[in-house]
Structure 1
Amino acid sequence: MALAAVGTTPVWAQGTAASGAQATESTDSIVQMRSEIRAADAEYLAKVRAADRVRERLVAEAWAERKKAVEAARSGASSG
C-alpha cells in the first residue's frame, strides 16, 4: 500500500491544494480591492479638502466685503 502511494497525491491533499490556491486568489483579489478602495478614498478626500479650501476662501471674501460695506455705511451715516 505504501509503495502504491509514492509519487501520487492523495485525494484529500489534491482538494486542499485546490482550495488553498482559490484562497490565495481570493485573498489577492481582496487585497487588490482594498487597495483600490483606499485610493478612491484618498482621491475623494483630496477633492473634499480642495472644495473646503475654496469655500473657506469665498466665505472669507464675503465677510471682508460685508465688513467694508458696514464700515462704509457707518462712515456715510456719521458724516451726514
Structure 2
Amino acid sequence: MAGSKYAYVRSFELPDTLLPGTYILVRLDGHAFHRLSQEHDFVKPNDERALQLMDHAAKDVMNEFKEVVLGFGESDEFRYMISS
C-alpha cells in the first residue's frame, strides 16, 4: 500500500496502548480435540492421560511466557491472564 493512492490511510492509524493496571485475556480453544481423543482412545468424560496432557501444555505456556499471571482450563480450552 506504501506509495499507492491509499497511503493516506496511515495518517488515521492510532497506537494501541493499554491503561496501567489492566490485563489481557487470551482464550485458546483445543483445535480438533475430538479427533485427537479418538486417535488416542481417550475414555470419556475425563481420561487421566488427556487431563495430564492438557495440564502439561498449560504449564509449558505459563513457563514460556512469564507475563502470564493466571491460567484456567475448562473442557478443551484454556484462558490466560497476561499483565500489561
Richer in strand (by share)? 2
* TM-score category (smaller protein): under 0.3
Larger radius of gyration: 1
* TM-score calculated relative to the size of structure 1: 0.28
TM-score by length of 2: 0.26
